Structure 1
């Protein structure tokens, strides 16, 4: 596994000690609080905070998240699945379901409710809603598209890779909203979509498993989902729950209009049930 890299700078003796610990024990580092790190290394919390800023991060939390992303990118899906199977909390169906509940609770602890509310408003303000995802995240993108389309929102699923993306990007306007689903490593195509909003000022919603400070996230809105630690198998239970919550909040705002859309859909299916059996 490649080591986490720090910038080449002049470090104090205490900073070298912190740097060496993180390099040698990245998995332990991301599990500990700043107080626990300080006690383990015999430093003060302020020393560790200064070290984080010296290495280019705004604070300890941002440094820890950077190490967490590094660990995630270095592990294969097989490694994560193997590690999760050995965990005590996933030894039975009940344990697995309770662990998913724990992931939801941890998500709620970090998820910014104001960002969620702003996302709901952006959905209603958008002329067209675009969704980008690739790999397993496509399942979440398709669910979001399916649910929003039922409420008569104009939703387009973007190509997941290659130059085909530009064929659709060319039509995204300042009045549109782009959802980007990328939990740990942000795909290059997603980076292009985030970069392009500086030219065409559309709004973006990033659904990820990374914690961003408002000054560091390039997306307009950021929705956090906790899906497990870096060495664990990452399920889609929490992102699915988040999408369901968004859809229900949209339905609440639509009121009777949401019910009418579904009733119209049911009537349409009934009208042609002889041609296409349900």
Structure 2
């Protein structure tokens, strides 16, 4: 949207708040924004010109047009960029950019907390809506190999309560939140907070606003809002999580047991 590195400290605070609260901007006044960003109203008024807009009204119009994006338009925006370039090489370069952006935000301590959380939990509940469903399935498949009790929450709407009744303080919840936090995800976080169980959120937002506090945020870049969203970085992050969890003695023991079963029944169920 705009380059925060080129802005003054006060304008950077305004810009950073706007980047992570686009929906709120549409219904905010300059006074609201100033209070939320912790700057003066005058700083907010000068901010628009610094980022190429006349005023807040013009910026709101820009946001409204930007938000009116369909999946078809996203793909069209991406294809437009390819007009004078090779498709495969362009996609590879974009993938590298997504991975690099993810690594730039990578925090080893936070990642290790997520690994420890999953290793030590009783049950791991995964909520993976929409395009993240494949990531949830992969995580479930691999972690169950390690002997982990992993359960994917497949219900939508009020039926999600069918899963909530099985979550207690010894469990953990891992949910994917790309673009925005869905209502089901909000309910999960609220319930997990009440039960005092650990929560891990995988998101394409480096700062995610939620109705209640969650424990761990893992960031994965998927590109700009108005282009085709890549899953290469989230997949990279999940595979690293799987590999790290697999290094424990218990996980290796379960893999050895799986290998013995394959040898025992290879004549019945050849691979």
Shared fold by TM > 0.5? yes
Partner of 1:57: 36
1:20-39 matches, cutoff 5 A? 30-33=1-4, 35-36=6-7
Q: Which runs of 5+ in 1 are unaligned?
A: 1-29, 37-43
User: Paired residues, what number?
Assistant: 236
The 2-side partners of 1:157 and 1:142 are apart by 8
**Aligned with 1:178: secondary structure?**
strand
CA offsets, 1:96-117, max 9 Å, x none? 1222111111111113322111
Asked if 1:83 corresponds to 2:77, the answer is: yes
Give distance in 2, aligned partners of 1:205 and 1:72: 30
Of 118, 121, 126, which residue of structure 2 is paired with 1:123? 118
Residues 12-70 of structure 1, C-alpha deviation per residue, up to 9 Å, x if partnerless? xxxxxxxxxxxxxxxxxx2322635xxxxxxx65366469684153469xxx9xx9998
Aligned pair 1:240/2:222, yes or no? Answer: no
Deviations 1:171-194 (A, max 9, x none): 100111100011111111001011
- Post-superposition offset of 1:277: 3.0
**Kindly tell me: are residues 121 and 114 of structure 1, through their superposed partners in 2, closer, same or farther at Cα, counting changes over 3 Å?**
same
Unmatched segments (≥5 aa) in structure 2: 18-30, 40-50, 52-59
Are the structure 2 counterparts of residues 269 and 71 from structure 1 closer, same or farther at C-alpha, using a change threshold of 3 Å? farther
Alignment counterpart, residue 269 of structure 1, candidates 246, 262, 267: 262
TM-score (norm 1): 0.74
Q: Quick one: which of 151, 165, 175 aligns to 2:170?
A: 175
Determine if contact 2:190/2:212 at 8 Å carries over to the other structure: no
SS of the aligned residue for 2:157 comes to coil
Tell me which residue corresponds to 1:101: 96
Q: Structure 1 stretch 140-149 or stretch 49-58: which is displaced more?
A: 49-58
SS at match of 1:121: helix
Distance 1:240 1:59 in 2: 36
Among residues 2, 7, 10, which one is paired with 1:46 in the alignment? Answer: 10
Shift of 1:142: 0.5
Q: Which is further off, 67-76 or 227-236?
A: 67-76
* Aligned 8 A contact 2:14 2:37 in 1: no
- Secondary structure of the residue that 1:130 maps to in structure 2? strand
TM-aligned CA distance change 1:180 to 1:117, over 3 Å: same
- Counterpart in 1 of 2:216? 221
What TM-score do the two structures reach when normalised by structure 2? 0.76
Partner SS for 1:197: helix
Rounded Cα–Cα distance in structure 1 between residues aligned with 2:65 and 2:260? 51
Shift, 1:91, TM fit: 3.5
Task: Tell me the residue number matched to 2:150.
Answer: 155
> What does residue 10 of structure 1 align with?
none
